[in-house]
Amino acid sequence: MINPYNVIKEIDFERLAGSENERKAAKIFSNYLTNMGLAPKLEAFEIYSFDTGKAKITVNGKEFFAHPYGLNKNATIEGELVFVDNPEIVANNKGAFKDKIVMSYGFSRRLGPTLFAGGVKAYIGIGRPNKKINSSSHRQKSFEKGYVNSVNVSYNDAIKLMKYAGKNLKIIIEQKVEKRIAHNLVVDIKGKKIDENLTLAFGHYDSVARTSGSSDNAGGSVILLKLAEYFSKHQPLRDLRIIFFSAEELGLLGSQNYVKTHLKELQNRVKFVMNIDVAGDIIGTDHLNVIGTKEMLGYLDGITKEIGLNFYSKLEIQSSDCMPFTKYEIPSVNIHRKGGAGSSAIHTPDDSPKNVSRSGLKNTLTAATNVLERVLNAKVYPINREIDGSLRDRIEKYLYNMNYENPALEWTPKYKK
């Protein structure tokens, strides 16, 4: 049997989408799946990606280390530093920060377009207290249409930089950006054909820059591997497809591509998907976030309690690969574990094997296996393809900020439900 923690250590390297290391990780997972007697396949798609670069800030003869945003090309920027507590002031005070270098602790998914529209010259994001510098990235659409040169600095360095507010500083960014090919890894486990329903279980296997992402999301990836191992030995009544998505960290690009290329099948066969993103914390809390109906929430919470697991369960959207499916009203359960040293350090170098464990994967794996066992083997498929209307506004806002495009949800009208 596969030891999932050993696999986390085996992929203890940065896995940027479209990189050689992404392909290395895909090969490792493929080998495990092939050894189970399964036939994994790669699905390629084109993205903008980058080689992990470097940046520095110089002011008054002093130099500060920084991380450039992903997809930020080489640049040298000089300008006056302005510190703000909330970067949304750039939108509220239109034109007030034109040609300024803005530094702030705040973040939102609409930050990029807000800064660009405000004519900001550069942006310095501030990391979390007592944490290493986090890694962020521009969106694909921002890279194509225009972005503000951006870097992140540590919390402590930001405190030092604050005293230079009102003074000129220089930011130098060195980073290669280009079009590349990323890959989703897909494997089918055929059921006994009680009906034509297809259930998907997925998570992403890429990481952000400068980290191996042991909890986010090597932990989820090895759980998918264990699910494949289990169901390859215990054939379900219905078909199961397991997908290792790439480029989640660049804006859910792998799952978006999958939905686009498999749309007809999704509309005809898929009523429910499972997403596993963030797992492995040695000490943490377990969660079921359901994007579906109250009935679906009660069902999943109940069958999880039946096996002795008491997860925090709620109707809520999740910033992960489940979201592209919501456009077509495909409900999901998002199973994750958070609150420990690993997940608290996501997107930093400290999201590493030392902060996760095999025991920290157990509850997530047990719950995921149980949900799939029940759904795949039910005499009548137990989940309806429906999402509660109370989530609609949040879904639309999320999907808009994902690509800065009209989400145009394709949901079944209420009178047809």
CB contact at 8 A, 250 and 140: yes
CATH code of domain 4-49+179-416: 3.40.630.10
Distance in angstroms (rounded) separating the CA atoms of residues 365 and 368: 5
Query: What is the DSSP track for 230-273?
Result: HHHHS--SSEEEEEEES-GGGTSHHHHHHHHHTHHHHHHH-S-E
Bridge partner list, 103: 83, 124
* CATH match of 54-175 with 3.50.30.30: yes
Structure tokens at 288: 């079921």
Q: Other CB atoms closer than 10 Å to residue 88's CB: what's the count?
A: 15
Average pLDDT, integer, range 311-336: 99
Rounded Cα–Cα distance for residues 152 and 168 (Å): 18
Q: Report strand pairing: 149-153 vs 122-126.
A: parallel
The answer, yes or no, to whether the previous bond of 217 is cis (omega within 30 of 0) is yes
pLDDT tens digits, 29-52: 999 999 999 999 999 999 999 999
Whole-model pTM over 0.85: yes
Residue 160 pairs in a beta bridge with none
* pLDDT of 356 over the 80 cut: yes
Q: Where are the CATH 3.40.630.10 domain residues in the chain?
A: 4-49+179-416
- Summarised one tens digit per residue, pLDDT across range 100-151 is 999 999 777 789 999 999 999 999 999 999 999 999 999 999 999 999 999 9
What is the enclosing helix (H) or strand (E) of 333? strand 332-338
Could you give the 3-state DSSP secondary structure of residue 407? Answer: coil
Q: Contact at 8 Å (CB) between 230 and 371?
A: no
Enumerate the CATH 3.50.30.30 domain ranges in the chain, comma separated: 54-175
Distances in Å between the Cα of 209 and the Cα atoms of 19, 182, 346 are: 11, 15, 11
Q: What is the mean pLDDT of residues 228-252?
A: 99
